[in-house]
Amino acid sequence: MDTRKKEEGISAIQFKKKDITNPVHFDNLEDLLIDVSKNDLKSTDKVKFIYSGNSEFPFDVREQWTDSCNLLALKEGVVVGYDRNDKTLQAFIKAGFTSIHVKDLLQQLEDETINIQDIQNTFIVMPSAELSRARGGFHCMSMPLLRNPAS
């Protein structure tokens, strides 16, 4: 059991482009993220936080340094992350996600035993022995694309 004293959250300020002189203040980062989810992304679902290292000391800090917070969301409820972050993966499983190794997923897609549209609440596990040495996770290795609607 982690007996460390809980530290006070770090306050956050959000500046909006349309009204830069009137920032919104939040008591902590979680409140800011909830606000963004509801007001900017129009989410009606309850926001659920999954913490690095399953919020267990010292794993929370260790796994942050091995990019457990640098996941790539492929779509809502589907993320890609490194295999070396065991406690973070456990936190996702505890939150209702399933995990699948990328090699197994690719085989199932190739065999057509699974359909991309049917994948939900899944943590796709990628090997990290060499990738994580470069100090970056999947989010850092991605690039946002703006696509034209299909004609």
Among residues 109, 116, 134, 140, the one annotated as catalytic is 140
Question: For the chain, which residues make up each domain, given as ranges?
Answer: 12-134
Mean predicted lDDT score pLDDT of the chain: 82
pLDDT digits (tens, 9 = 90+) for 52-87: 887 777 777 776 766 777 888 888 899 998 888 888
Specify whether 69 is catalytic: no
Q: What percent of the chain has pLDDT over 70?
A: 82
Q: Is 34 helix (H, G, I), strand (E, B) or coil?
A: helix
Report the SS3 class of residue 48: coil
The span from the CA of 135 to the CA of 87, in Å, is 19
